[in-house]
């Protein structure tokens, strides 16, 4: 990967892309909804924060860590707009009324822990409670982001999962994220996980998928924990229906493993880590299990 690959951009030509293999060889779809790094000039002008501060909420370079997945025979979907602009891992209308100049529609979800903390579908803050905007947004602006970015993304995600389900009889969504190192700053270094897998405490996918992913990652040298402090967000919860053959597993990677979190520079061995995650995908593909098929009894 050349150095320009890691740089943010200002032009949003495509809101998202789906990189497909020549032939899909397994019922897995990898998804990176928070690694977008296109910060348009209009968005930066509307914010009181620097670009570096805005990027603190970004799952920086996660899409590049999994860039080799399509070559393994599985699709990779990724957003190009940043999480600070629109969060795809939320319900469509988790909105804070204080952010807008007009009253929100009655169907908006204006309460709840995510909205209350400033991290709704359109975030009010980035990390360390830094307010994003200089002024309140018009309702038209907020709804436009949902209609033109959020809804098309999820429509495409649903379609990819449906096509996978039709082809293989079931589908497995691997939702890829990263977590700041400070999450574990009070933990003993020996016990700090490199990766946290989230299956909504066993409800979003069959245990065989979770166990296989955990075993493979440990085999590759990573320290892995389950569901703490990340059990899976809206995407994992919404798309995980194991009794219907729809499985979803979230993976959170410690950013300190692959980047300098202050300078947003990848570590020197970034490509080697990307090879490991390609190996993870390849080995996971080989662990397809009959248990992932919905049973006749469960479908009745």
Q: Which helix (H) or strand (E) segment is 275 a member of?
A: helix 270-285
| Mean pLDDT to the nearest integer, 188-202 | 90
pLDDT tens digits, one per residue of 207-230: 999 999 999 999 999 999 999 999
Burial class (CB in 10 A: 0-12, 13-18, 19+), 189: exposed
Residue with tokens 């990263």: 178
Domain count within the chain: 1
Q: What is the pLDDT of residue 11?
A: 86
| Mean pLDDT to the nearest integer, 8-34 | 96
The region, left, alpha or beta by phi > 0 then psi within -120 to 50, assigned to residue 264 is left
Lowest-pLDDT range, 9-18, 155-164, 247-256? 9-18
What global pTM score does this model have?
A: 0.95
Asked if 46 and 142 count as a contact pair (C-beta separation under 8 A), the reply is no
Q: Is the pLDDT of residue 40 over 70?
A: yes
CATH number of 196's domain = 3.40.630.40
CA distance 63 to 56: 16
Asked if 93 and 132 count as a contact pair (C-beta separation under 8 A), the reply is no
Q: Is the pLDDT of residue 1 over 90?
A: no
| Mean pLDDT to the nearest integer, 193-198 | 98
Q: What is the pLDDT of residue 288?
A: 79
Q: What is the pLDDT of residue 187?
A: 66
117 SS3 class: coil
Give the residue numbers spanning the domain of 178.
3-299
Q: Is the pLDDT of residue 300 over 60?
A: no
pLDDT interval class at 297 (50, 70, 90): very low
Residue with tokens 């348009």: 40
CA distance 151 to 294: 28
CA distance 232 to 236: 5
């Amino acid at each position: 990967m050349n150095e320009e690959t890691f740089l943010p951009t200002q032009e949003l030509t495509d809101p998202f892309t789906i990189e497909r293999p020549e032939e899909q060889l397994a019922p897995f779809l990898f998804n990176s909804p928070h690694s977008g790094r296109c910060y348009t000039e209009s968005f930066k002008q509307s914010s009181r924060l620097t670009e570096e501060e805005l990027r603190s909420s970004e799952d920086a370079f996660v899409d590049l860590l999994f860039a080799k997945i399509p070559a393994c025979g599985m699709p990779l979907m990724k957003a190009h707009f940043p999480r600070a602009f629109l969060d795809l891992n939320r319900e469509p209308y988790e909105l804070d009324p204080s952010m807008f100049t007009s009253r929100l529609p009655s169907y908006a979800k204006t309460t709840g822990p995510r909205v209350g903390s400033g991290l709704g579908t359109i975030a009010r803050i980035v990390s360390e409670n830094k307010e994003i905007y200089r002024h309140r947004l018009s309702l038209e602006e907020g709804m436009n982001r949902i209609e033109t970015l959020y809804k098309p993304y999820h429509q495409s995600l649903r379609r990819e999962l449906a096509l996978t389900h039709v082809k293989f009889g079931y589908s497995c969504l691997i939702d890829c994220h990263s977590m700041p190192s400070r999450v574990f700053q009070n933990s003993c270094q020996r016990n700090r996980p490199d990766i946290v897998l989230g299956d909504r405490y066993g409800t979003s996918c069959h245990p065989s998928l979770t166990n296989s992913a955990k075993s493979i990652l440990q085999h590759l040298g990573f320290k892995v924990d389950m569901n703490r402090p990340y059990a899976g967000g809206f995407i994992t919860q919404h798309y995980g229906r194991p009794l219907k053959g729809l499985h979803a597993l979230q993976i959170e990677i410690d950013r300190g493993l692959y980047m300098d979190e202050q300078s947003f520079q990848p570590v020197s061995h970034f490509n080697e880590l990307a090879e490991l995650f390609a190996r993870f995908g390849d080995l996971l593909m080989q662990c397809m299990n009959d248990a992932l098929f919905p049973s006749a009894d469960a479908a009745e």
